[in-house]
Amino acid sequence: MKDHYLGYYPTKYIEETYAEALSTRDEVLTLWFEYINDDELNCSVDIGKIYKGIGDCYPEELNDHTMAIKHYDLAIDYFQLANQKATTDYEKIDIFDLLRDVYTSKMEISIDESEQIQNCLMAITHIELSVQNLLKYRSSDYYGIATRIEEIANLYQSIFKYDDALINYEKALEVYMQQFKPVLYRIKVTFEKIFKICYDHKHDYSSALKYQLMEHEYVLKHNARKPTDNMTEMCAKREEIVKSHIKLANVYITLHQYSLAEEHLMIIKKLYQESELPSQGKVEFIEEKLGNLYTRLHKHDLADKHLAMEKNLYQKTKNPLAELHIRHPIGYLAQKQKCAFFRFK
């Protein structure tokens, strides 16, 4: 019954589940209120979780933000009461994490901008309190601390406090990279968040380049080909590497470092040309970027060459039988007859 009110609903229709949860809430809460004065049990935590779970029912399916806020506020009251009764730091850490969740939920459904910011800052405050308590027992390079710091950064970014977000992303990234077995995916995602702030929001292209180069190293390492890779895995890894090269090329173009941009575009072209699968449309895209790049450099002969190649590839993409006609005339005729047959059908 307790799990039912914590959001772990049984497999039923959502409407029925919510109706059942809401209709029996008073009965369940009454059971817990019988033990409200039992400080050792400290059931205020459980009551707070129930109110949080009920609050979660309202915003999406029941479309009642007022009732959601009411129950979130009740959850906050009982979590704060539970914190006063907590006897260990680990209990407090759990409660601070629960308070973070409630304030984040309030932030997500707030319509008023000032309320959003206020709830966001309260969520951040409780994450910081959680970190302070964790640091009593864990070193600063503890993975769980890094994930909380990244949460702080995410929240700052959500209210457009990019400088504060960057500071915390950098702290989290440093810890992720210090791990005995670094989680490469987590490092890559954090790099991407930092890059986005530097490039899109702060227009600090030098910093964006710095972090993209660091990310690129991890992308190459994470996507190194293995003998056991199948075709799907190889293609997925190639695409990740290509994306990183494209980001680097774009930053170099923005910084007017065109020779370095050209270098990365040529690497991408080679990757596609060596691919086991057809990638004509993607090579076409790279030829276009190279053509535009050479136009900027006033290398018009090279620009014309690559734009002509791009146009040629485009025509082949429009008419896939054209290349077959050049390379395999008999196969071309057979394929053409097959297409005509299906058109007739």
Average of per-residue pLDDT across 294-308: 77
Any idea which of 167-171, 286-290, 315-319, 325-329 has the lowest mean pLDDT? 325-329
Q: What is the DSSP letter of 111?
A: -
Q: How far apart are CA 64 and CA 82, in angstroms?
A: 27
Residues in the chain: 345
Q: Which residue has the higher pLDDT, 335 or 249?
A: 249
Q: What is the DSSP letter of 299?
A: -
> Mind listing the pLDDT tens digit for each residue in 72-89?
999 999 999 999 999 899
Q: How far apart are CA 259 and CA 266, in angstroms?
A: 11
Q: Which residue has the tokens 């993409």?
A: 317
> Mind listing the pLDDT tens digit for each residue in 10-68?
444 555 666 665 667 767 776 766 767 776 767 888 889 988 988 888 766 667 788 89
How large is the angle between the packed helices 25-33 and 44-57, nearest 10 degrees? 170
Q: Which residue has the tokens 């680097």?
A: 248
Residue 16: predicted pLDDT: 61
267 to 286, 290, 292, 309: CA distances (angstroms): 10, 12, 17, 17
Write out the two tokens for 301: 């002969």
Residue 116: predicted pLDDT: 95
**H-state helical runs in 198-257:** 205-222, 231-254
Q: Are 188 and 219 spatial neighbours (Cβ–Cβ below 8 Å)?
A: yes
